[in-house]
Amino acid sequence: MTRWREALGRNETLVALVILAFVVAATLSDPRFFSIPTMMDLARASIVLGILAVGVMVVLVSGGIDVSFTAIAAFAMYCTTLLLVTYMPDLPWYGAFAVSMAIGATLGAINGILIAGFGLPTLIVTLGTLAIFRGFLLTFVGSRLISNIPSEMRDFSRMMIVRGTNADGSFYSLPWAFAFLVGVVIVTWVILYKTMLGRAIFAIGGSVESARRVGIAVRRTQFFVYVYVGALAGLAGIIHASMARVANPFDLVGLELSVIAAVVLGGARLIGGYGTLTGTLLGVALIVLVRNSLVVLGIPATWQMVVIGVLILIGTGLPAWQAKRAASRAA
């Protein structure tokens, strides 16, 4: 009985139940909602959001917070596309992805130096670099839409894992970009749960001082975290540009709330030391469902932010209430 209560009290379980309720409600409103094309559309919408959310989860686990990741993604995406269009139009798509990830990692390293090297607060640093990266991009790099993206990037957007047509004539497809989300999840899982580096990340999130006392290289670990998040942001950015077939410097920035909401709903604690990839992916699924199914339910799209805000309050408030209740019982 106690195990059942613990399972029901976990964020992952609650989020899964909410997702189920959303799917049932949307299907009752429109029977076509629960169909292969809709599920493929939701999976496609989860790719960029999911990659960014995995990176943010790693930061939260380490006890920090990063709000600059969308600016890094936009910067890396736009600079890479501009570089390719101007100098290397025939560079293979995987070369373009490597360039974007390298730019993202470099920008992430700036965060890492300020946070790990100088000991500055993570929120203040990333708020500052969010403005700096975005301002630099729009002022010195460019603010015009690039619609003539390289052919290799367009070719990548046409690569499909699955494609087909339903009996009613509706078309469905799942791009190979989804495999990158799967790959990011696998690599991150290995880092967090199968390496000493992952244990160090969790330890720092639990207590920086305790981690130092047991010999963990705190600064080096923190630096890695922000470089890794920057690289993932660069990957998410170039995938977004490839799938959209356009590089827009005004894209992605503004997704911070949705990404952080997904991670928090998945159970990651803002104080650090805890977070799961399963919970994060469930949180992403819920946010994507909210953003894509409100119209089906007859709710205006303008309510999206309201619903996401409510979900954040529930996702952060419920664990805090449970912890307080457990503490009062123990006393």
Q: CA 124 → CA 66, 68, 83, 120, 266, distances in Å?
A: 9, 10, 31, 8, 24
Size (the chain), residues: 331
Spatial separation of the C-alpha atoms in residues 297 and 33, rounded to whole Å: 10
Spatial separation of the C-alpha atoms in residues 245 and 243, rounded to whole Å: 5
SS3 175: strand
Strand partners, 165: 171
Spatial separation of the C-alpha atoms in residues 208 and 188, rounded to whole Å: 21
Instruction: Report the DSSP pairing between strands 171-175 and 160-165.
Output: antiparallel
pLDDT of residue 1: 46
Q: CA 196 → CA 214, 221, 268, distances in Å?
A: 13, 10, 20
Is the overall model pTM greater than 0.75, yes or no? yes
pLDDT of residue 8: 47
Q: What sign for the dihedral angle of Cα 219, 222, 228, 234?
A: negative
Domain ranges for the chain: 2-324
- Residue 197 has a CB neighbour count (10 Å cut-off) of 16
Q: Going residue by residue through the chain, which has 331 residues, state the pLDDT in tens, using 9 for 90 and above.
A: 455 445 545 677 888 888 888 888 778 877 777 778 888 888 899 999 999 999 999 999 999 999 999 999 999 999 999 999 999 888 999 999 999 999 999 999 999 999 999 999 999 999 999 999 999 999 989 889 998 888 889 889 888 888 877 766 677 788 899 999 999 999 999 999 999 999 999 999 988 999 999 999 999 999 999 999 999 999 999 999 999 999 999 988 888 888 988 898 888 887 888 889 999 999 999 888 887 776 666 667 677 777 777 777 776 676 667 667 766 777 6
Pick the CATH number of 2-324 from 1.20.140, 3.40.50, 2.40.50, 1.10.3470: 1.10.3470
Residue 213 tokens read as: 């006392």
Spatial separation of the C-alpha atoms in residues 100 and 236, rounded to whole Å: 9
Contacts of 148 (CB under 8 A, 6+ apart): 85
